[in-house]
Structure 1
Amino acid sequence: MCGIAGAFLNKNNFVSPQDIKRMTDAIIHRGPDDYGIYTYKNIGLGHRRLSILDLSSHGHQPMISNDGRYIITYNGEIYNYLELRSELQTKGYVFNSNTDTEVLLNGFAEYNINILNKLNGMFAFAIYDKNNKILFLARDRYGIKPLYYRLDNAKLLFASEIKALFKWNFIEKKIDLLALDEYMSFQNIFTDRTLYESIKILKPGHYAIVKSEKSEIIFEQYKYWDFNLHDDELKVSENEAIEELEKLFVQAVKRQLISDVPVGSYLSGGMDSGSIVAIASRSLKRLKTFTCGYDMTSVAGFEAGFDERQYAEMISNTYKTEQYEVVLHEGDLYEVIDKLVYHLDYPRLGMSYSNYYIANLASKFVKVVLSGSGGDELFAGYPWRYYHALGHKSKDNFINSYYNYWQRLVKDNEKKLLYSDEIKNKIPKYNSYEAFKSVFKEYDFPIKNNKDLINASLYFELKTFLHGLLVMEDKISMAHSLETRVPFLDNDLVDFAIKIPIEYKLKNYNEYQKIDENEIKKKDKYFETNTGKNILRKVMKKFIPDEIIERKKQGFSSPDASWYRAKGKDYLIKFLNKPNNIELYNYINKDFVINTINKHFDGENKRLLLWSFLNLSRIKF
């Protein structure tokens, strides 16, 4: 796990080592153990190393192939690298290290871009072909590791984090209004845009081929993998599926324990992280586990159940882990928000400061931590969302209805009040709808029954919600020089999971349930279902206490609806009106912000929108 950066200029220009060093210095937190720079004429590659495998200097990057043709800068972990290494050795390749970096480098030399189909892991990398003067960029299937780029006629810049791109001379920060509109609709960005104009993120499951001409840079992006939830459903009994799923899950966790440094695990008190701990603790005695809890003194309503420490401790006691906890209080958000916004580059999804605190805790004891991300999206863990998709007879009807549901922050009919007068006319009327619709552009799913609609919903969440979660999780963990691994996103496990019939994942999937997951007054229905992840529950009954298995779904979230009120309306307004925050009102109508605060203190649950305003207020364009 590391940080990468680089530049590829048009012909007859030269990259300075100092330019690359400025970029890598900006992401030193991603790799404090070592750094390296490679420059040759118009190409420059930089690397910051967080040493996980082969801690010696043999793992130094950028790494050059034995014949001098290929140069790589790479961030990630390839969990099947030992198998690939053996395969390449039979073809005559000689290795100088015990790193997965060298396996990837030699694998590319042998298979070219087809090596991507052999990699089981998380990665973002750049490889320069010195003979053909071509640069290759790639991201893993699911987007666990981020890779941003900025392209113009004169150059391509790329990096693990956006802040590194702004270290290049004369790169100006400008807000991307279309991306802002996406975010204000979904609390996420579904396209490859970012909040910064001209800066994009390489799509998950994609690679790019970049060539340099005299007058321009040619950048071509290609898809090599995608989720396919509608073809070749498994024709097996539920018991057979349970048996195979158990085998693949155990294999996935064990694969991801490979490391030359200490490995621990997050432990939320839910089934996903608990399942990982159950398997990992077999191989690692006194596995270190990390839990985030909340001071519930001023918490009321549906948030009263957000502190899951008792369940985490139950799992810890069962598996004799070395358990560590951090307990957050109502003012902790404000203490950390500047650091959090800096490391995130731009906000995605909801209240992530809890993740920041627990990553900080874990980093004091281990260098690698396991996470339960992906379990909900693969095994239908959010039933109340899928029920909004049922009953539609066409793809267009499904998209239109699901779009209306997924406007988490501000509905289209409210946007005329949201944006400042100068901004509102610069955003096309159907911008967020087109962004939503684009998720399904290459997913030609049938609509024959409700199973198809639920699979379409799962596809949507795997492509959007999960991707946003992974990007956020990467930035937060790497802020603390901590590698996060996600066993649920093992390739073999995913390939099997997406073929499991819906009726094995989701109980009573033909029933309609309309649940607003953000409405505070519906506490009796908020997340209170255990109908999702049915097959995973049956697998894990062998490993986890029944109290955990039978618990109704609980999201990992801080009790901010209560805490905003406890801290007081005046404090929130004063914070959002600080002189260094007023740039927010260049594009967001101040009256809308104040009205949102008033509504929240009058009883509406506006916690998601308030979080978004707090984040946006700290970004400077």
Structure 2
Amino acid sequence: MCGILLHYLGDRKDITLADDELIEFEEDFEGIKSCSNIDPIFNSMISDIAARGPNYSSFKVSKQYSITWFSSVLSLREPFTKQCVEIKDRYVVQFNGELYNDEIQYNDTQYTIQLLKEGKEIIDVIRKLDGEFAYTIYDIQNRMFYFGRDPIGRRCLSFSIDNETGELYISSVTGCKTGFQDCIAGTIYKYDCQLKELNTDSKISKPFYVSEELDDENLSHLDDNVEKLYTHLLDSVSKRVVSIHPAHIQNSPISVLFSGGLDCSVIVALICEHFKQSIRHKNLSKTIELLNVGFENPRTGTMPKDVPDRKLAISSYKTLQRLYPEIDIKLIQIDVSYEEYLKHRPKVIDLMYPKQTEMDLSIAISFFFASMGNGYLYNEEKTNDEIMPYERKGIVLFSGLGADELYGGYHKFANKSTEELVKELTKQINNIYDRNLNRDDKVIAHNGVEVRYPFLDIDVIKFSTEELPINYKINKLILRKLAMNKLHLANICDEPKRAIQFGSKSAKMTKDGNKHGTDLLK
């Protein structure tokens, strides 16, 4: 995971870049404040970009090309690769994300660079990448910028262009700045510096995912499809685990955003299934951190320990412990006081922009505190006076996002006709980059971690949309069957859907309880 920030001056005359320079920050990031770019918009975004990559940052200026880059790195695969990467006199590349191409031997950035060095066309290289990513590539010879996001949009990226001067900004995080727009998932943006022209005709090979109207009225193929879905999901989880640098795996846990509900419990169980195979073959112990957040809500008088998601998380944690005694599963209870909520609220609002509704805030701030991971370790035998403070150690977080969109989990789907359900599910999965992923990646990555989404693996999406009958997607029937029959989560699989903002009590925090989720923030 990395942070991307790029500024091309175009024809602006009021800024003169200093001579070419490269400043690197590997430990002391205080020096970042002294970066010599004098553009206030660029400078205002540097600290948020640096937060996304706590292992390394660099500030690069090219007076010849009128470009400034700021890049940050969270190192997950060896060998460690500094960003940005210049291919002498040909390309300058920034890459943020994780790739799962079978032929990758080292890390994803080097894999991408090697494809470019082999002389492959930029668009062909981008289309070859399998994973969750965002990128900028500057073609020095042709004075072209290429930038964009993966076909699902699991990594955020935004841009701003001045049509008169040709000035261009590209950034992972923009804050509350007007003029920026989020990149559309799967679109390859191509900006011609000479013509001052943006072209968006090229796309990554991304089908428009359509939920088919197949219907297995007698559920005669349900068991077979449960087996197929299990195989797809286990493969999706496994490749997202093994692609983390082994040193990080051995020394720190895998973390999971954990409400205790069906989706995240399935993910935990699948990680355990993967770990069981690993333990069998390598005799390595494995640890999973379950990050559960609860808020003090002055409107309802609820304390963090009493919120619905805390109670459910404890129950589900005990089930998972019983099923997987050989795995070290830790439940991390993250309590957020109203004072802490107020303290961090402005920053979360800034990070999640352009989302600016009450609902977006209540979801984003839950993920913000959960990914921060400052809490205490659950131990049933300890009293409140004996709680053990605990700080998240995992740097890769797994999320169950995507299950509701693929398998009909939202309450509003309950009474829809087949035709209406097909239309809604098609809309949900194709718009998930804008509805959820832009916001979530910005607030989670700010804590120096990377989030991964097994349900949003392209193979999982294709199987779920193209092959599963529509009646399997009423109240997540197929996922509940998988949880019960394959993972033995019987007491979890019947839990009703509860949105995180209601389960953690981060919604409607004040006595002004007549607010609606769609209301704009004040």
TM range (shorter): 0.7 to 0.9
Q: Is this contact kept in 1: 2:172–2:442, CA < 8 A? A: no
Q: What is the root-mean-square deviation of aligned Cα atoms in Å? A: 3.1
Q: Secondary structure at the match of 1:256?
A: helix
Q: Does 1:286 align with 2:287?
A: yes
Q: Does 1:144 align with 2:154?
A: yes
Specify the alignment match of 2:109 in structure 1. Answer: 101
> Which residues in structure 2 correspond to 1:195-344 (within 5 Å)?
196-213=177-194, 217-222=196-201, 223-224=203-204, 225-229=206-210, 237-257=221-241, 258-260=243-245, 261=248, 262=252, 263-281=254-272, 282-283=274-275, 285-294=286-295, 298-299=301-302, 305-307=308-310, 308-318=312-322, 319=324, 320-329=328-337, 332-344=340-352
> Which residues in structure 2 correspond to 1:489-504 (within 5 Å)?
489-504=456-471
Q: Is this contact kept in 1: 2:289–2:392, CA < 8 A? A: no
Deviations 1:231-288 (A, max 9, x none): 6969993333222111110000011112122332222111111111112124262222
Structure 2 stretches of 5 or more lacking a match?
Answer: 22-35, 276-284, 375-390
Q: Does 1:478 align with 2:445?
A: yes
Higher strand residue share: 2
Q: Is this contact kept in 2: 1:11–1:212, CA < 8 A? A: no
Specify the alignment match of 1:467 in structure 2. Answer: 434
Measured in 1, the distance between the counterparts of 2:399 and 2:47 equals 28
Q: Which amino acid aligns with 1:85?
A: I
Describe the shift of the 1:607–1:311 C-alpha distance in structure 2 as closer, same or farther (beyond 3 A).
farther
Q: Does 1:156 align with 2:168?
A: yes
Q: Does 1:3 align with 2:31?
A: no
Shift of 1:208: 0.5
Describe the shift of the 1:133–1:358 C-alpha distance in structure 2 as closer, same or farther (beyond 3 A).
same
Q: Is this contact kept in 2: 1:139–1:205, CA < 8 A? A: yes
Q: Is this contact kept in 1: 2:212–2:467, CA < 8 A? A: no
Measured in 2, the distance between the counterparts of 1:388 and 1:551 equals 19
Describe the shift of the 1:606–1:560 C-alpha distance in structure 2 as closer, same or farther (beyond 3 A).
farther
Describe the shift of the 1:469–1:559 C-alpha distance in structure 2 as closer, same or farther (beyond 3 A).
same
Higher helix residue share: 1
Q: Does 1:75 align with 2:96?
A: yes
Q: Is this contact kept in 2: 1:63–1:102, CA < 8 A? A: no
Q: Is this contact kept in 2: 1:292–1:309, CA < 8 A? A: no
Describe the shift of the 1:42–1:457 C-alpha distance in structure 2 as closer, same or farther (beyond 3 A).
same
Specify the alignment match of 2:397 in structure 1. Answer: 369
Q: Does 1:381 align with 2:405?
A: no
Q: Secondary structure at the match of 2:209?
A: coil
Describe the shift of the 1:48–1:475 C-alpha distance in structure 2 as closer, same or farther (beyond 3 A).
same
Deviations 1:311-337 (A, max 9, x none): 342244233402211134555532321
Specify the alignment match of 2:51 in structure 1. Answer: 29
Measured in 1, the distance between the counterparts of 2:181 and 2:507 equals 35
Q: Which amino acid aligns with 1:355?
A: F
Per the normalisation by structure 2, the TM-score is 0.76
Deviations 1:57-107 (A, max 9, x none): xx0111123x64222111111122xx2336xxxxxxxxxxx3210112223
Q: Secondary structure at the match of 1:279?
A: helix
Measured in 2, the distance between the counterparts of 1:562 and 1:343 equals 17
Q: Which amino acid aligns with 1:238?
A: L
Q: Which amino acid aligns with 1:211?
A: D
* 2:72 equivalent among 33, 48, 62: 48
> Which residues in structure 2 correspond to 1:388-399 (within 5 Å)?
390=417
Shift of 1:131: 2.1
Describe the shift of the 1:122–1:537 C-alpha distance in structure 2 as closer, same or farther (beyond 3 A).
same
Describe the shift of the 1:120–1:309 C-alpha distance in structure 2 as closer, same or farther (beyond 3 A).
same
Specify the alignment match of 1:407 in structure 2. Answer: none
Q: Is this contact kept in 1: 2:95–2:109, CA < 8 A? A: yes
* 1:110 equivalent among 95, 106, 120: 120
Shift of 1:304: 6.8
Measured in 1, the distance between the counterparts of 2:286 and 2:309 equals 29
- Say how many residue pairs are matched: 442
Deviates more, 1:492-501 or 1:478-487: 492-501
Q: Is this contact kept in 2: 1:234–1:499, CA < 8 A? A: no
Shift of 1:156: 1.2
Q: Is this contact kept in 2: 1:205–1:226, CA < 8 A? A: no
Q: Is this contact kept in 2: 1:4–1:24, CA < 8 A? A: no
Q: Which amino acid aligns with 1:205?
A: G
Q: Is this contact kept in 2: 1:10–1:212, CA < 8 A? A: yes
Measured in 1, the distance between the counterparts of 2:129 and 2:396 equals 20
Specify the alignment match of 1:192 in structure 2. Answer: none
Structure 1 stretches of 5 or more lacking a match?
Answer: 87-97, 164-194, 391-449, 508-531, 570-596
Deviations 1:443-474 (A, max 9, x none): xxxxxxx3x42121012222335533212221
Describe the shift of the 1:12–1:148 C-alpha distance in structure 2 as closer, same or farther (beyond 3 A).
closer
Q: Does 1:85 align with 2:104?
A: yes
Q: Which amino acid aligns with 1:311?
A: S
Q: Secondary structure at the match of 1:543?
A: coil
Describe the shift of the 1:64–1:387 C-alpha distance in structure 2 as closer, same or farther (beyond 3 A).
same
> Which residues in structure 2 correspond to 1:397-476 (within 5 Å)?
450=418, 452-465=419-432, 467-476=434-443
Describe the shift of the 1:212–1:306 C-alpha distance in structure 2 as closer, same or farther (beyond 3 A).
same
Measured in 2, the distance between the counterparts of 1:129 and 1:239 equals 51
Specify the alignment match of 2:86 in structure 1. Answer: 64
Deviations 1:161-189 (A, max 9, x none): 114xxxxxxxxxxxxxxxxxxxxxxxxxx
